Structure 1
């Protein structure tokens, strides 16, 4: 690709790739001087050039410029990298229906269930904490929400593999650090908001502000925001949404509401109330918080045109999500649950479910 396609008025030299790690730069690459928490990419410009970089994108002054190297100064290197990655990889998110899921808990479950239900209808990929999956491909991720270059590259791979949709876990780190700035989401899903990640964000206010970016800035105006009506942050989030709002919940009136819930350790039954009609739902998902997760999935898929009866039929046998309330049955006379819960709220809910399926004295 020509550099002039990435930057206005840039020379028409050929670009072989994009990189922000000077150690991984290859001949013909554009090197982005990305400022980090520990290191600053500006300090490794010489290394990047020695490894073959033909263009340096920087925000700080560069005093010792080399002949034959193109220097482009921008106000925000990270934003420039996001937009360049979007263009370089052919704007892949524009070619798929993009589901973005954020919140303290439930992201992995919702994203995986979206894929499991939607994939038989239209090929769907998944990117998140557990894996990167599309078609027969399964890769292990480094981060819940990868960096922009890796993310756009994988989305491009999905498009080339025939994917029509992608469910992406969008972490607060990823939002705060602008990793998804090159993606316009068709659906933005909010799960819940509880204590987490204060080591990075500093305060709960900063943590919540990071979450709101998905709904303010990253969802398409013609898209939809799927919000948990029962979460205390719901009222704060609604006026910030840049697209229409659709709600789900149990305790309060919602566009997609579950009532008459009955649960065992193997299955759940409830009536889904939508547009004044009642639909019986049976699912192998268990625990109240998974009913919330499933409601978010149902709302997201139905609001993007999937027939509600088809969605409900698919809820009966949802593949087990790895490490998410995963029940191990090897014929033992006791219950074994594997779960990734690591927040106070998540741990409390898992323990609550564990107690509910444990016989007295067991």
Structure 2
């Protein structure tokens, strides 16, 4: 909780501020959905694709909002409340959410994972590997959330939650004594339009694959890829960028990355030079045996090659971040657990295989 005066609502991005004299209520909550407004809320009226938050300002006030951030001229202003107008409302939502929770991201080592496919699996494998190495690590992805108290199914409808959900999570990670957190970074979350991750700097980032997706939002493939590249732009000094060696936009990624970025690449069954290479020796639906760097027989408890690729990316990120030999990390592959809904093979005595999969 903070007093209104303690929240930086008078910066250069606000074109208009209406504050009653001596008005300084206690802000207990930041929200973008009028239905979640409670007493002493700060309500952001955001114009979305289907619903305009400006239409719900009266309901937000009725439910207890004491201040409103908006981007349009309003037809009515309650003289007893505070109003702040900005044309960068998504940017300010991220910034003020971070400020409201005392910038927990600055006290955490953040690892971001993006790509068209493989984001969730790579996040889960990083989280599992960190815990196998006895390094406590938070997690937020499509499937799970772990703030250091317990790993639970993610309660959010988005893989990368809104700042009003993300920063309470990061704050709880900090309170629970975590030093690391893995964040699934979607193109929407990374985009300038949504700006959910805009105020987070990442110590390590992983790029899995990129193909054409979400063009109904980004409009062009170039804009989609550029949104993904924001993850590299938000790298801390001397941070790590991990990518598949055959990542089709690797050279473009290198050209936009900070000069201090440290690159590492991985590959499966490829002759390309890279930092972590795996060659398949045998595999079936249920498992795979690989030669990985100097290790001749690494057992992987998943058959499909895309799992192996994601594990390689996860292992390389952990190795780079913790300065641990990557071979040691790869030796833990046989202890990794299946991920719910990700090519989950069901074992039955039937003449066919049953696979539960809701990834794309």
TM-score (norm 2): 0.86
Counterpart CA distance in 2 for 1:328 and 1:23 is 41
Q: Tell me if the contact between 1:148 and 1:182 (Cα under 8 Å) persists in the aligned partners.
A: no
How many residue pairs are counted as aligned between the two chains? 337
Aligned: 1:123 with 2:136: yes
What root-mean-square deviation, in Å, do the aligned CA atoms of Structure 1 and Structure 2 show? 2.1
Q: Deviations over 1:261-320 (max 9, x none)?
A: 4323333232333xxxx2343321322222211110111000111523541232112111
Counterpart CA distance in 2 for 1:16 and 1:271 is 55
Counterpart CA distance in 1 for 2:150 and 2:24 is 38
Q: Tell me if the contact between 2:280 and 2:288 (Cα under 8 Å) persists in the aligned partners.
A: no
- 4+ residue segments displaced more than 4 Å: 8-12
Residue 145 of structure 1 is matched in structure 2 by 160
TM-score (norm 1): 0.86
Counterpart CA distance in 1 for 2:344 and 2:280 is 25
Q: Tell me if the contact between 1:124 and 1:167 (Cα under 8 Å) persists in the aligned partners.
A: yes
Aligned with residue 339 of structure 2, among 313, 321, 325: 321
Residue 256 of structure 1 is matched in structure 2 by 276
The structure-2 alpha-carbon separation of the partners of 1:95 and 1:286, relative to structure 1 and needing over 3 Å to count, comes to farther
Aligned with residue 247 of structure 2, among 231, 238, 243: 231
SS for the counterpart of 2:322 is coil
Aligned: 1:27 with 2:39: yes
Q: Tell me if the contact between 2:34 and 2:57 (Cα under 8 Å) persists in the aligned partners.
A: yes
Counterpart CA distance in 1 for 2:39 and 2:150 is 32
Q: Tell me if the contact between 1:109 and 1:293 (Cα under 8 Å) persists in the aligned partners.
A: yes
Q: Tell me if the contact between 1:3 and 1:15 (Cα under 8 Å) persists in the aligned partners.
A: yes
Residue 16 of structure 2 is matched in structure 1 by none
Residue 76 of structure 2 is matched in structure 1 by 64
Residue 210 of structure 1 is matched in structure 2 by 227
SS for the counterpart of 2:312 is helix
Residue 6 of structure 2 is matched in structure 1 by 5
In the alignment, structure 1 segments of 5+ residues that lack a partner are 343-362
Q: Tell me if the contact between 2:284 and 2:303 (Cα under 8 Å) persists in the aligned partners.
A: yes
SS for the counterpart of 1:119 is helix
Q: Tell me if the contact between 2:25 and 2:40 (Cα under 8 Å) persists in the aligned partners.
A: no
Counterpart CA distance in 1 for 2:151 and 2:264 is 33
